[in-house]
Amino acid sequence: MPQASSPIGVFDSGVGGLSVLRALLAAMPHERFVYLADSAHAPYGERGDAYVAARTHAITQYLCEQHGIKALVVACNTATAAAIHEVRSSHPTLPLVGLEPAIKPALAVTKTGHVGVIGTRGTLTSAKFSKLMASLNEQAHFVVQPCDGLAHAIERSVALPVAAPGSPVDATETGALCARYVQAMGSFGTAPGQMDTLVLGCTHYIFVAHELRALVGPGVQFIETGEPVARQTRRLLEAAGLLHVPAETRPDKPPAPSPGTTPAVQLLTTGPVAMLEAAAQRWLNLPTSCCQSVQVP
Ligand code: DGL
């Protein structure tokens, strides 16, 4: 039976969900986390619902059985679209948080009423996304762009050296893909008729935010889901009485750093561990000792 001291499970097709883990760590520094990158089976975005649902099911089982998780964050828009309903019915007592492209928050931000949405083909062609769009479509003009290959290119780019500041965006594989998709979407900016808001509907894309920024210009707002997801996870844990509350500091003693304030994070991957190690160091400043390779058949 999971307890408040049990870890929170987080998973993605690969390293993209580390952007969500970063927000979770900031919101709940006293919690333990087990993150699983299913890199051996990434990308999910172009594989079809049945495959993604089967992987989501296998990983949920693994995290529950092997790690006794107290909650699960599906840090992947594609897996959420394909399988969150099934996970909810197969694990009815597990607090569960999924991700979907943040088009509702984008409505609150856009001034021109023109919003761009990028994500994987799996997410953007899903029934779940169509339903979401149908409920909002009248309120803004949306340009929806599936970005085939971009998440996979981001995975591969982790092992490469960081591009020098000022180097041309399209000199890298990720940069060339960003340029292709941004150009296909139309005009970005703050003038009437231009898209002034871009929804990052895939957790990988925050890691190419600087390339996207160089292409769309400084006035365009990026909307992603890490922080709202962290707040929602915290709310669910509180409601379930499963939030880990560190032992109180004695009032006669000044607060001092204690081991309980150091986040305990395990990063697991079904793919090459070197890639996860590089991502953990580059994006979360976490040591390679957190990373381990596992098999989830
Ligand atoms: N990071 C994932 C998402 O948010 C999926 C990327 C992929 O594997 O295609 O959709």
Residues within a 6 A CB radius of ligand 1: 12-14, 16, 42-45, 76-78, 120, 123, 151, 202-204
Answer yes or no: is pLDDT of 193 > 60.
Answer: yes
Q: Which of 169, 189, 223 is the last residue of a domain?
A: 223
**What contacts 151, CB < 8 A, 6 or more positions away?**
13, 14, 16, 42, 43, 44, 45, 120, 202, 204, 205
Give the pLDDT mean for 204-222: 96
| Shared-domain flag, residues 91 and 233 | yes
Q: Which of 178, 202, 290, 291 is catalytic?
A: 202
Q: Residues 15-34, buried b or exposed e (16+ Cβ, 10 A)?
A: bbbbbbbbbbbebbebbbbb
Judge whether residue 256 has pLDDT over 60. no
Average pLDDT over residues 216-244: 96
Q: Verify whether residue 76 is a known catalytic residue.
A: yes
Q: Considering the entire predicted model, what is its pTM?
A: 0.91
d(CA 105, CA 27): 20
147 alpha carbon – ligand 1 mean position (Å): 10
For residues 83 and 96, the answer to whether their CB atoms sit within 8 Å is no
Q: To the nearest whole percent, how much of the chain has pLDDT over 90?
A: 85
Amino acid at the residue 209: A
The pLDDT of 136-162, averaged and rounded, is 88
Over the stretch 76-122, which tens digit does the pLDDT of each residue have?
999 999 999 999 999 999 999 999 999 999 999 999 999 999 999 99
For residue 3, tell me if it sits in a domain: no
**Residues 115 and 85 both lie in one domain:** no
- Boundary of a domain, candidates 223, 249, 274: 223
| Distance in Å, CA 205 to ligand 1 centroid | 9
pLDDT at 194: 98
Which residues span the domain enclosing 77? Answer: 8-99+226-293
Residue 1 within any structural domain of the chain: no
- How confident is the model over 54-62, as a mean pLDDT? 98
Average pLDDT over residues 17-23: 96
8 A C-beta contact, residue 75 and residue 151: no
Closest CA to 100 of 71, 121, 136, 75: 75
- Specify whether 290 is catalytic: no
Considering 206, 223, 240, which residue would you say is the last residue of a domain? 223
> Dihedral sign, CA of 194, 196, 201, 207?
positive
Nearest atom (ligand 1) to Cα of 81: 10
> Are residues 84 and 118 part of one domain?
no
Edge-to-edge strand list for the sheet holding 32-37: 96-97, 71-74, 8-12, 32-37, 264-269, 291-293
Q: Rounded to whole angstroms, how far apart are CA atoms 12 and 39?
A: 8
| Residue in 10, 11, 13 to alter for ligand 1 test, most ligand atoms within 8 A of Cβ | 13
Task: Tell me the CATH number at 246.
Answer: 3.40.50.1860
Catalytic option among 76, 147, 178, 290? 76
Is residue 113 situated within a structural domain? yes
Closest CA to 203 of 40, 76, 79, 78: 76
